[in-house]
Amino acid sequence: MYLFAYGTLQPGSNLKYFEENALSKFLTPIGKGEVRGTLTHLKNTKLGIEYPGMTVAEGVHTVRGTVFEVEQPTEAFKIMDAHELYTSEPGTHELTQIDLFKRQGVQVMLNAGGTCTAVAYVLNPDSKFMDSGAIQKLGTVDSGDWLSYIKS
């Protein structure tokens, strides 16, 4: 099983999520790739953090990211789901599901040649969390490359 990570799950992201928890022991990078879609710069107004969201669509835009082989998918996705799909309310240890992202299979064009199917966390078009005002869309990342975008 493969994962396509295009933002904070990539090594070297601004949130360093990959490096700072047990996730790295379940993910082995196999290379860089691209998915047809659009990358949006988001801000969580409650937490004051910024991260990307991807929508998948045919067209001229691409989203660049890292492809990982996923070992022990049950354990790995438990960690990633907590990062992507759930939020802890301050002062509690309970995880409350939000619906900002959903897991979706995507076709990845590998930079080294060829393609693979991978799981990606994509923006949920029916998100009630997005409609709540807790998330602001700050614009489109025209390059499709979150790591380059946050460094500039």
- The answer as to whether 147 is a domain residue is no
pLDDT of residue 87: 61
- The answer as to whether 143 is a domain residue is no
- The answer as to whether 61 is a domain residue is yes
pLDDT of residue 71: 94
Alpha-carbon distance 71 to 50, whole Å?
A: 28
- The answer as to whether 152 is a domain residue is no
Number of domains present in the structure of the chain: 1
Question: pTM for this structure?
Answer: 0.88
Burial 135-145 (b: 16+ CB within 10 A, else e): beeeeebeebb
Q: Which two tokens stand for residue 121?
A: 């966390």
In order along its 152 residues, the chain shows pLDDT tens digits of: 999 999 988 877 766 666 666 778 899 999 999 999 999 999 988 888 889 999 998 777 999 999 999 999 988 888 888 777 666 555 556 666 778 898 999 999 999 999 999 999 999 888 888 888 888 999 999 999 999 998 88
pLDDT of residue 72: 93
